[in-house]
Chains A and B, each alone.
Chain A
Amino acid sequence: MRNAFADELTKLGNVDPRIVMLSGDIGNRLFDKFRAAHPSRFYNCGVAEQNMTGVAAGMALSGMRPITYTITPFVTTRCLEQIRTDICYHDLPVMIVAVGGGLSYAGLGPTHHACEDIAFLRAMPNMAVVCPGDAWEVRAAMRGALERDHPTYIRMGKRGEPKVHSETPEDFRIGRALPISAGSDVCLLSTGTMLPEVIEAAHKLAEKGVSAAVVSFHTVKPLDTEFLADALVRYPLVATIEEHSLIGGFGAAVAEWMIDNAITPRKFLRFGTPDAFFKQSGEQEYAREQLGLSAHRIAERILTVLA
């Protein structure tokens, strides 16, 4: 995802002179092409994310389209008040791009985990929260964000995730769920980097004779309520799956919307991280397994609920 972001940034920057890249002192060499093509539109803002976020707001107030970028906790919670007051209160078209969403950087420890950011950012007025499912969706999300005149948060994984699409999905729209595969017994709503894992879970379910639909529900805010209204009553079971806390995340957003709109699902299940820091060392795959977010553990829990 990270490399797709840098490549798409260069492409978009070549045609849109308003795009400015602000980095919080990460991405060594990642932005070389953008920097070479647009030296005056790249700023390494140092390890000073509050200032970086305020600077982005000032640029947007003066007609530019800035992008702030660093590791997820540092581009979101570290500078949360600047996001709220400088960007969202002024309703500015700033793109906040996070690398290492969820447990992408599991091995770096809880300082670098990000399982609360969706909760914080979707509470912000004017903000769209987009969690692309693969590198192609990252590109599509960036294009979508540029079409908005409002703040957009794009939550990426890291690099080298399996690709789900083979090109930029044409029907990708911020705020619209993106069906990946059809099914009839269960509808798996995946947000963000869980998508390849969820597709794998659907394969495992198929082996057990369960037909699972898979949806890349990349936009947590605004929710695609039209899709939800249909899916929640159509499928025997709907599950939300995210690499984020069950408190305040994607599943919570869907549950809130159901309650507020008196929708009674046939069955509804949420997969996410618990209300606890994951303190063990180990990589993302291990963390997912421990937290019930690996493909086989997702499939097993679905089978239990359907049994």
Chain B
Amino acid sequence: MSDLATLKSAAARLRGKVIEMSHAASSAHLASSLSCCDIVAAAYWGVCNIDPARPDDPLRDRFILSKGHAATALYAALAFRGFFPEALLETYCQDGGMLAEHPPARMLPGIEAATGSLGHGLPIGIGMALAGRMRGETFRVYALLSDGENNEGSVWEAAMFAAAQKLNNVCVIVDYNKWQATARSNETLQLAPLREKWEAFGWDAVETDGHDIGALTALMRAVPDGGDRPRAIIAHTVKGKGVSFMEDDNNWHYRAPTAEEVVLAHKELGLA
């Protein structure tokens, strides 16, 4: 496993790349991707037992980007980790390419599930975890959800089912950046108190700073922790994190950066 400096550097590289990709493709959801780069870096560099040479290894840990609109973060992580060539990132959103704005089904190594319709990743992840349990395999399943995604009833169906099944090898991370597409998440459907909700649904629910990679890594690694509850990590984050003029500004849910803004952003991230 990697040390903290490596994890932080990976997260900064991810941020730099998702900004480039959003600019090149004029694609939306940049702020949603920036929000979860530390979580994705923790998963791919610090937690998951994965091998790019054997992406279909039945015993691998599964990471599901249930908030599929943050696909650029997933694509960049998979490319940097060697699941496919980095050059492929240049084809993001291009005609005839394989990298659509949401992750595709069974086209690229490392993408565990096609997501983009919210509320689907956790049920799929639970199915994977149960398949593993039936066969005596001990892999872990991580599902990254957005806070807006917690609007979906299927999330709570899945939460109750995983708790009833005592699936202690399943871990949800909620990227709690307090925004959804067009409004504050708590003013849309009341999520708060979110940790207590997951706790009440039978989960071992903890809160953390979603940009503290060390803390995230420790919490995600400690799955399963000997108990019989699945784990929910409510990760408090800032939408657009890492770029001062994007942070907590929900216009960046849809806006793509100009070439000048890419340069400014890279400078702030120490990538210039």
Report A's interface with B, CB cutoff 8 A: 20, 40-41, 43, 45-46, 48, 50-64, 66, 81-82, 85-86, 89-91
Contacts and interface: CB of A to CB of B under 8 A. Distances in A.
Interface string B94-120: 000000000001100000111001011
A55 B161 contact: yes
B126 interface: yes
B123 A85 contact: no
B157 interface: yes
B140 to A, nearest CB: 13
A56 B132 CA distance: 13
Given A20-B134, A85-B114, A89-B114, A57 B160 contact: no
Given A48-B160, A64-B134, A91-B105, A54 B117 contact: no
A89 B103 CA distance: 12
A20 B124 CA distance: 15
A192 to B, nearest CB: 29
A90 B134 contact: no
Given A46-B160, A64-B134, A58 B117 contact: no
Nearest to A54: B123
A50 B131 contact: no
Given A58-B124, A59-B127, A90-B106, A50 B113 contact: no
Contact of B134 (A40, A81, A82, A89): A40
Contacts of B119: 50
B161 A58 contact: no
A253 B133 CA distance: 42
The 5 closest A-B pairs by CB, nearest first: A58-B127, A54-B123, A62-B131, A51-B157, A48-B157
B160 A55 contact: no
A91 B114 CA distance: 11
Given A50-B153, A53-B123, A54-B120, 9 more contacts: A46-B164, A51-B157, A51-B158, A54-B154, A55-B123, A59-B130, A64-B131, A89-B114, A91-B106
Contact of B123 (A60, A64, A86, A90): A86
A64 to B, nearest CB: 5
A69 B154 CA distance: 18
A62 B127 contact: yes
Interface of B: 58, 105-106, 112-114, 117, 119-120, 122-134, 153-154, 157-158, 160-161, 164-165
Contact of B128 (A59, A82, A85): A59
A52 B154 CA distance: 10
A57 B153 CA distance: 18
Contacts of A91: 105-106
B161 A90 contact: no
With most chain B CB atoms within 10 A of its CB, the pick from A52, A86, A89 is: A86
B169 to A, nearest CB: 13
Contact of A48 (B105, B114, B161): B161
A55 B124 contact: yes
A20 B132 CA distance: 13
Contacts of A51: 123, 126, 154, 157-158, 161
Contact of B126 (A40, A55, A85): A55
A81 B132 CA distance: 25
25 contacts: A20-B130, A43-B165, A46-B161, A48-B158, A51-B158, A54-B120, A54-B122, A54-B124, A54-B158, A55-B123, A58-B123, A58-B124, A58-B126, A58-B131, A59-B128, A60-B127, A61-B112, A61-B124, A61-B131, A62-B132, A63-B131, A86-B113, A86-B120, A86-B123, A91-B106
A116 to B, nearest CB: 21
A50 B123 contact: yes
Contacts of A60: 127
B105 A50 contact: no
A56 B125 CA distance: 10
Contacts of B132: 62
Nearest to A41: B134
Contacts of A64: 131, 134
A40 B117 CA distance: 30
A166 B221 CA distance: 58
A302 B18 CA distance: 65
